[in-house]
Chain A
Amino acid sequence: MAKKSINLIVKTQAETTVVHRARKFLPIAAGVSIFIFITVFVANLIYINANLAAFKLSEAEARSIVKKIEASTETEATYILTANLVSKLNTILSSDLNYTNITGEIFGLKSDELKITSVNIDENGDISLAITVDSVTTLDEFVRILIDKEERDHKFNNIEAHGIVRDKDSKYILTVILKADKSLLQ
């Protein structure tokens, strides 16, 4: 009887380094990638669900507040209109000129011997006075008062006298031009 032999040893083939390394790292890479994927996916799902709920809550709250605000539309419009008007009013008032102080000062210059017949005051504080004075002494006194008001009280400046004439009753008629200090116009 002839002997028959069977080779049961699997023929081995030498593996390249790349395959050898791949065999080592690829399963780890697969495991890590699937772990990261599942972790990020689940975390993302949790985040979306949680925020969606919070978003819906905020949206509901916003809707209820909007309703509340809409119910007060009339009050809101009244308030906005009031704020707008009062702001404009204050702007007008802040640029408004006060003529009372200047006029009061000018009225205060009068005396029995010195008559102011007309006064012009413009928005720049330029004042023009038409004056009748009984005597030179009164005229001197008037000039002194005006100089005092310019130098001591700083109420007027650029004082000029024009067209001094003596009328038939021996009275002096003149025009005085002066500028009021800004403080008097406020």
Chain B
Amino acid sequence: MKKKSDYLTILRRYEILIASALVIVVVIVLSWNILIPNLFKSKEIYLQQKQISAQLDSLRKKSNALSKLDKDYYKETLVKLTQVLPIDKDFVSLFAAFDLLQSKTGALIINTQFQLENTSSGPSGVNQRETVSTKTIPMKLEIIGDETAILLFLDSVDDLAGRIMTIENTHLTLKEDGLVGAQLTAAAHFNPAPGRAASLETPLPTIGKTELETLEKIASSVVIIPPADPQEVSLGKEDLFN
């Protein structure tokens, strides 16, 4: 009995100290179990908020940029652009370019030689080469015309009215009658890796001033070659004798 009353006496005597210590312990336990995890959660939310704000910003910019694009203009220009720089060898656009060059310049293409396969050895040591990740079809062209026609031809091969071709070297033979024969070592370009679609937040690539001028030139000068319709190809006479 006496012992119990002694404890009570001690309790009463130190009640404030015990209560204060208990409060401090409870606060420490609660802080450890609730407050600190909550603070970490807040930090996480803050970081996510920051991240989503940045994403939102880039998405808004991209959405604005996309809404400003003239869909039809780019669609039509891309068709023309792929005639100038196709994604494959596309001999149709190449021959169309030759036809265009002949009619435009007055020079006559009398012979063409192509390196058809990448691995085959080209005519007279002409090798397939890569230029800035575009590929080329090495070729040799033999043309004939007067001086004006030849100069116009040399000027028109890269005028972006048709398939882009570059000349590596020229051999001209000036004849007595005033005609000039030209043997051109040239290359037609194509781009087999036209680019990948980017992720949603990736900003749209910017088309610079000179590139816009090139686009404008292509948009105004290239005539779209309609795809060949086999139904419309004339097959000749059904009856050979009448």
Contact = CB atoms under 8 A, between A and B. Distances in A.
B55 A120 contact: no
A30 B71 contact: no
Contacts of B147: 107
Given A44-B42, A81-B195, A93 B170 contact: no
Contacts of A59: 52
Chain A interface size, as a band, is 35 or more
Contacts of B39: 40, 44
A52 B55 CA distance: 17
B172 A119 contact: yes
Contacts of A122: 168-169
A137 interface: no
B194 interface: yes
Nearest to A93: B158
Given A37-B27, A103-B150, A92 B66 contact: no
Interface in A37-87: 37, 40-41, 44-45, 47-48, 51-52, 54-55, 58-59, 61-62, 65-66, 68-70, 72-87
Given A104-B151, A122-B169, A62 B214 contact: no
A120 B200 CA distance: 53
Given A37-B27, A41-B35, A65-B63, A92 B154 contact: no
A22 interface: yes
Interface stretch (B17-25, B120-128, B229-237): B17-25
A80 B21 CA distance: 68
Contact of B168 (A19, A62, A79, A123): A123
Binding site of B, secondary structure by majority: helix, strand, loop or mixed? helix
Interface stretch (A110-118, A139-147, A152-160, A162-170): A110-118
A88 B20 contact: no
Interface in A19-44: 19, 22-23, 26-27, 29-31, 33-34, 37, 40-41, 44
Contacts of B198: 80
22 contacts: A19-B17, A33-B24, A37-B27, A51-B49, A55-B49, A65-B60, A72-B69, A76-B197, A78-B74, A78-B75, A82-B207, A84-B205, A85-B85, A85-B191, A87-B207, A92-B85, A92-B189, A97-B166, A103-B154, A116-B174, A120-B169, A121-B170
